[in-house]
Structure 1
């Protein structure tokens, strides 16, 4: 997937980890297309949200690791996920 700000690219494969730049860099998994939007879900599960395709870019390996580590830390603290 090639990222160009404001320009939608073809949807990634389901399960691809992406960053929603329209929501302060929120990281999620691509779940599918919902009308003109892409459905994303937090890495550890939870409520999906819709994002404008032009505001979504692939997550870097560092971003993916940071999000997975935050989820593991929350789980170890007993936070609700």
Structure 2
């Protein structure tokens, strides 16, 4: 929070950068950006989705690893 209790502005995301959608809980590559919307696509391809800037932040390493670990864990349960 800033001194006047307003939320801190989110950093600007560039086209080609990885972003995390905090509502959808997904990582996406910024494909296009407009003043009120960003268009993202999953890093390995797939359907594009849109989100307002207030729902996005730069993706962290943990954001990238989490889906992979979920998939590995799911696969390990099926291989027994």
Identify whether the pair has TM-score above 0.5, normalized to the shorter chain: yes
Q: 2:61 aligns to what?
A: 61
TM-score, normalising length: structure 2: 0.62
CA distance in 2, matches of 1:32, 1:65: 24
Which has the bigger relative contact order, CA under 8 A and spacing at least 6?
Answer: 1
TM-score, normalising length: structure 1: 0.62
How far off is 1:34 after superposition? 4.3
Q: Does 1:21 align with 2:25?
A: no
Show structure 2 runs of 5+ residues with no match.
1-6, 73-80
Q: 2:4 aligns to what?
A: none
Aligned to 2:23, the other structure's residue is in SS state helix
Q: Is the 8 A contact 1:20 1:51 kept in 2?
A: yes
Aligned to 1:15, the other structure's residue is in SS state coil
How far off is 1:12 after superposition? 1.5
Report the number of matched residues: 65
Which protein has the larger Cα radius of gyration, Structure 1 or Structure 2?
2
Aligned to 2:33, the other structure's residue is in SS state strand
What is the CA RMSD across the aligned residues, in angstroms? 2.6
